Amino acid sequence: MEENFGVLVLGHGSKLTYNKNTVEAVANMLAEKMNGAIIKTAYLNMDRPTVEEGIESFSSTDVKTLYVLPLFLAHGIHTLKDIPEILGLTDGQRRTTHSFDNRTIDVIYAEPLGIDPCIADLALKRLEEA
């Protein structure tokens, strides 16, 4: 990743506060691993900031590229339709731009967490804890 980038971690949102707390905790852990990146959170439903507000929150930063990371396990209606629509992406597109008052940044839409050995490791850990 290049310099001056940011990450907007997207959560689903919920009436239950631990959902937002979880998304924020993961974003904080990600920030610890990515020195220098500006990392913020946003939500599709019920919580704030909204995705639009989350993107706008980068207007006062020096971010040149914004990665949008859906904190979802798999693709679904939100990752395939709702989020791309908010970002202004069309079918299968992953890159776009966003203009603030004084500049334009690149926006790159990441895949959801998906299938990965670390997900299986985490599932095994949860089973062992049970």
> Among all residues, which ones are annotated catalytic?
12
Per-residue b or e along 41-60, where b marks 16 or more CB atoms closer than 10 Å to that residue's CB: bbbbeebeeebeebbebbee
What does each C-alpha distance from 28 to 25, 76, 77 come to in angstroms? 5, 25, 26
Beta bridge mates, 50? 43
Distance CA 11, CA 64 (A): 23
Distance CA 105, CA 76 (A): 27
